[in-house]
Amino acid sequence: MKSLSNTGFALFGAVLIAISYGLARFAFGLFVPPIRAELGLTPEVIGIIGALPLISFLLATLVAPLSADRLGARNTAVLSCGFGVVGLALISQASDALSLGVGVFACGICTGLMMPALTAAMQAMVSRAVHGRVSSVMNAGTSIGVVVAVPVVLFLSGAWRYAYLSFAILAGIGVIAAWYFIPSVSRVIPANAASTTPISGLQWWRLFRLSLFAFVMGFVSSAYWIFAPDLMVTLGGLPPSATGWLWLAVGIAGIGGAVVADLADRNNPPITHSLMLVMLSASLALLAASPDQLVLAAFSALVFGLAYMSLTGLYLMTGIRLLPGRLSMGPVLPFMAVSLGQATGSPVVGMLVSKFGYANAFSTFSAIGILVAMLSPLYPRYIDHEPEEEQVDDQTGLQAAYDYQLLDEDGEPLAPVADEAENP
């Protein structure tokens, strides 16, 4: 195994996330128009198939922490990329709905295993002082993967099988790289860290509210991830290659979502959540209103990408804050809720498209998102308010959330080893 620096690990993790999230999971919607046309699939069938990787993601996420502990970070990452190779290769050779479904199901397992494997490796390889920043960079890999898929669809819009075969090759390279760079050990906890306290009733109540908001966001966003390109082609009459610009806009704007999520902690998370959910809902309505206008469609994708990545980053931070010391649980629950919402929403939007058309289906989902955004004052406030003189201005953002994952016997954030060496 070759050792990586903190920066090197962050960039390497972003590459693996780009493969497992960007290519194996979210790129599917980009290829729905040519896949649906060649295989003769109805919107209802596409909706069901679109839900399969989300279901397998949930199942894989449930066993991922155990896998990282028993198999180690390296083997779990290799296993993740291996499922990616199998799933992407099956999609490239799909001849009907069943074989396509098996392929996307395997891709969902790839996605569910990757982040826990990288988190376990981060515990061993990366200085705890920069866990938050490294996680933020790795999370941006989703947008990078989506952007990488764009040139493929622009040049191979009519050859989706070759596109997915190229993705499978990239996943195969990921298998080799994961074996070479990821350590076999899993989590490393300092000896002077206090034992994790039991989860209180208040924490469970806040987690429940967080998961409900995350579920609705996933439900609403499923319409865009699965059917936005098909809407442009079917309703807007644009060529399949034009959908590449839609995903390019989503990917570029999504990179900025990490910044917005971090800033949300410095201001008011409930207000930020409401604003981002309204923006996400508005992007659906805008696309449904102007599917034949490429510029407006691309603008809607910019809004969607920024809002989606901002919300997932905010859920990540909130989950860590609510359950300090439980890194395998706090941020996992809201992400599972997002996937469950997407798995539920995908077949629902497919059914609505068949019965009422794309415009009405997208408008309905947009209205649901706006209505729930009005309930954002109920978004869990994960920081217990202390007296003003005890407030520390720089204890905000994703980095601060990770700083509080380990506490000492006095209940204070455990100082990183580097800091202890500098301040004996």
Q: Residue 342 falls within a domain, yes or no?
A: yes
Any domain includes 422? no
Q: Apex CA 326: angle with CA 319 and CA 315, to 5°? A: 10
Helices (H) and strands (E) in the chain, counts: 16, 0
pLDDT tens-place string over residues 264-287: 656 678 888 999 999 999 999 999
Mean pLDDT to the nearest integer, 28-37: 84
393 assigned to some structural domain: no
Tell me: do 150 and 247 sit in the same domain: no
Q: Would you say residue 246 has pLDDT above 90?
A: no
**What pLDDT was estimated at residue 393?**
45
Given phi > 0 = left and psi -120 to 50 = alpha, else beta, which region is 357?
A: left
φ and ψ at residue 395, rounded to 5 degrees: -90, 55
Say if residue 169 is in the same domain as residue 218: no
pLDDT class of 372 with cuts at 50, 70, 90: very high
pLDDT at 388: 39
Residues 66 and 164 in one domain: yes
- Three-class SS state of 407: strand
6 and 44 share a domain?
A: yes
Distance CA 99, CA 105 (A): 10
How much is the pLDDT for 391?
Answer: 42
Six-digit token pair at 421?
């060496």
Q: Are residues 14 and 76 in the same domain?
A: yes
Coil/strand/helix, residue 8: helix
Lowest mean pLDDT among 64-78, 276-290, 331-345, 400-414: 400-414
pLDDT higher than threshold 80 for residue 75: yes
Based on the fold, state whether residues 212 and 163 are members of the same structural domain.
no
- Residues 238, 122 share a domain: no
Give the structural domain span for 244: 200-382+406-411
DSSP-based helix, strand, coil % in the chain, nearest 5? 75, 0, 20
* Whole-prediction pTM: 0.79
110 or 65, which is more confident: 110
Average pLDDT, the chain: 82
Percent of the chain with pLDDT strictly greater than 90: 33
Instruction: Write down the pLDDT at residue 386.
Output: 41
Q: Is 148 found in the same domain as 49?
A: yes
CATH number at residue 292: 1.20.1250.20
The verdict on residue 30 lying in a domain is: yes
Buried b (16+ CB within 10 A) or exposed e, 266-291: eeebbebbbbbbbbbbbbbbbbbebb
At 204-231, the pLDDT tens digits run: 888 899 999 999 999 999 999 888 888 8
Is there a single domain that holds both residue 183 and residue 210?
no
Q: What's the full length of the chain, in residues?
A: 424
Q: Which residue has the higher pLDDT, 206 or 186?
A: 206
Domain match, 180 and 251 both: no
Q: Which residue has the higher pLDDT, 296 or 66?
A: 296
More confident residue, 240 or 232: 232
How many alpha carbons lie under 13 Å from residue 168 in its C-beta half-sphere?
Answer: 19
Q: Which of 160, 188, 216 delimits the end of a domain? A: 188
Of 162, 188, 214, which marks where a domain is finished? Answer: 188
pLDDT over threshold 90, residue 253: no
Contact 95, 182 (CB under 8 A): no
Q: Is residue 142 in some structural domain?
A: yes
Q: Is residue 401 part of a domain?
A: no
**Domain-ending residue, one of 165, 188, 211:** 188
Assess whether 275 and 164 both reside in one domain: no
